[in-house]
Amino acid sequence: MSEMKRLPLEGIRVLDSSYIFSLPYTGALLADMGAEVIKVEGPGRTDPTRFGGLFGSFPENEVSGDWWDRCSTYNLLNRGKFSLTLDLTDAGARDLFREMVSISDVVMENYTPRVMRDWGLDYRSLRKVRPDIIMVSNTGYGHGEGPYSGYPAQATTLEATHGLCWITGYPGGPPSRAGSSYVDFLSTWTALFAIGAALRHRSRTGQGQWIDLAMYQIGAMAISEYILDYTVNGRLGQRMGNRHTFRAPQGCYRSAGEDEWVTLSVGSDEQWQSLCELMGQPGLIQDPRFDGALSRFQNHDELDSILNQWTERYDKYQLMETLQSAGIPSGPVLNNKDTHLDPHLRAREFLENVTFPEERGIGTRPFIGRPYKFSKSPLEIKGPAPALGQHNERVLMELLGVSEEKYLVLEQQAITGNAPVTGEPVFPAPIGRQIEEGRLGGWDPDYAEVLKDCLGGRGVDR
């Protein structure tokens, strides 16, 4: 392969013993960049993203056959990886894991602190196996002596404990979450940066190191200005919905169509004057209620009413173009359908088609790629997520030299295998009921064909 086409992480092997979202997604992006990523799961403790329900959906909303390999979230977060099943509660399996560490560069795990320590697989133990190993431990509250360190956690609860919920929501309303698993995404980007820095450090010094990620602290970094404001000024942050401390009007306003919205933000008197002209209400420029940023902020509710009466008559994309042409920041609110069909994301090739082996029965599906491009490295999704245990023989017999006889014993004892020994799929509710319960905003029966046409015949292939 020529230097121009060489991927950044070729030759790097990653053991990914992590579950759910943040580190699995980190592993997927590492695989996109050329790393050999081996996902390690126990047959009795497979990744919950395989089970559907809160963790995604099944193709065509149907659960059948090897359902544990078919869930959308699992396949997104584990694309391009190899799959090894190994029951790490077994001492012999842990010995095999250590052998894998000896020929790997990075180990990722997101157990509570006691687990890897009790198994003798913590950083202190693994560096005896490979002194320059890089290990990433992603926990809720970090390792060490802190009183919360032993607590299990997930992103949706951490939003409350690190303070984000306190400042998210509408004035007078309760604290709110910010989307879905917000801190998981932050942890993914943080882990990627930290692994890159650690690999750079190792290439310069020959030293590995332990990356101890605490999602609680990662989330707190996202509200650092509020923490500093309290530290310096004694002010608690407050919930203000879509508004801003000094830009007014700012908000999310109805546009033409059912549940369609557009955003705008006015930060100067000049922008306010332009907005009044666009609305055909130049008289508002001299209205004392809106004369100056402070007055507009104090009378924001009245402004919102006026703006909604104007915006709801126009298409959200038309409003965006009109407002931006006048120098006013604006953007349409996109739902997941809009995002899939967005011409700019298509032009950026952000959606990539991944074709599964015919026997998997999934076909070709579009997946999100990466929010960045490298000028000298043609990054792309290397392939679909593996079936459970798909590479057991390759890893155990070819890489580690396990004999065929021993391999058969491992299978018989369910230390390795190709199917989960516990757990059941979460069967999806009928589409109509999901809409009634508010879990779905809507459903287009012909969406697969619409997407296929939009992507030039390269969309969903069922």
Residue 377 has pLDDT above 50, yes or no: yes
One DSSP character per residue, 153-173 reads --HHHHHHHTTHHHHSS-TTS
Q: Cα dihedral sign for 18, 19, 23, 24?
A: positive
453 — phi, psi (to 5°)? -65, -40
Higher pLDDT, 187 or 344: 187
In which band, very low, low, confident or very high, does the pLDDT at 458 lie, cut at 50, 70 and 90?
Answer: low
For residue 14, pLDDT beyond 70? yes
Confidence bin at 342 (pLDDT 50/70/90): confident
Q: What is the pLDDT of residues 264-294, one digit of tens each?
A: 999 999 999 999 999 999 999 999 999 999 9
Q: Which residue has the higher pLDDT, 64 or 250?
A: 250
Residue 257 binned pLDDT confidence (cut-offs 50, 70, 90): very high
pLDDT (tens digit, 9 = 90+) per residue, 287-320? 999 999 999 999 999 999 999 999 999 999 999 9
Q: What is d(CA 198, CA 312) in angstroms, rounded to the nearest whole number?
A: 51
* Best CA proximity match to 165, nearest among 183, 148, 146: 183
Is 204 in a helix, a strand, or coil? helix
Could you give the 3-state DSSP secondary structure of residue 59? Answer: helix
pLDDT, position 1? 42
Residue, of 162 and 201, whose pLDDT is higher: 201
**pLDDT given at position 391:** 98
User: What is residue 438's predicted lDDT score, i.e. its pLDDT?
Assistant: 83
Q: How far apart are CA 292 and CA 270, in angstroms?
A: 10
DSSP string, 391-433: THHIIIIIIS---HHHHHHHHHTTSS-SS-SS---BPPPPHHH
Residues 304, 252: Cα–Cα separation, whole Å: 9
Is a pLDDT exceeding 60 seen at residue 404? yes
> Which residues make Cβ contacts (< 8 Å) with residue 119, sequence separation at least 6?
88, 94
pLDDT over threshold 90, residue 145:
no
Residue range 69-115, pLDDT digits in tens: 999 999 999 999 999 999 999 999 999 999 999 999 999 999 999 99
State the DSSP code for 46: -
What's the pLDDT at 307?
A: 98
Cβ atoms 32, 380 nearer than 8 A: yes
Q: Given the structure tokens 């020959």, which residue do they identify? A: 206
Would you say residue 12 has pLDDT above 50?
yes
In this prediction, residue 2 carries a pLDDT of 45
The helix-helix angle for 22-32 and 182-205 (nearest 10°) equals: 50
Q: Give which of 65, 203, 190 is closest to 138, Cα–Cα.
A: 190
Here the tokens at position 161 are 């404990």
Which DSSP category does 389 fall into?
Answer: T
Instruction: Give the closest residue to 387 by CA, choosing from 29, 78, 94, 100.
Output: 78
N- to C-terminal Cα distance for the chain?
Answer: 34
Band of residue 460 on the pLDDT scale cut at 50, 70, 90: low
The strand order across the sheet containing 209-214 reads 82-85, 36-41, 13-17, 106-109, 134-139, 209-214
As a residue count, the chain comes to 462
Domains with residue ranges and CATH for the chain? 3-221+348-428 (3.40.50.10540), 250-335 (3.30.1540.10)
What pLDDT, on a 0 to 100 scale, did the predictor assign at position 461? 54
Residue 316 belongs to what H/E stretch? helix 316-325
Q: Can you tell me the mean pLDDT for 171-184?
A: 89
Q: Contact, 50 vs 21, CB < 8 A?
A: no
**Residue 407 Cα to chain centre, angstroms:** 36
- Structure tokens of 327? 């120098």
Please report the pLDDT score of residue 193 as a whole number: 97
Asked if pLDDT for residue 432 goes beyond 60, the answer is yes
Q: Residue 452's pLDDT is what?
A: 73
Q: Report yes or no on whether pTM surpasses 0.85.
A: yes
49-63, 129-143, 212-226: range with lowest mean pLDDT: 49-63
CA dihedral 88, 92, 94, 99 (to 10 degrees): -140
255: its two tokens: 């546009």
Q: Whole-number mean pLDDT of the chain?
A: 93
DSSP state, residue 141: S
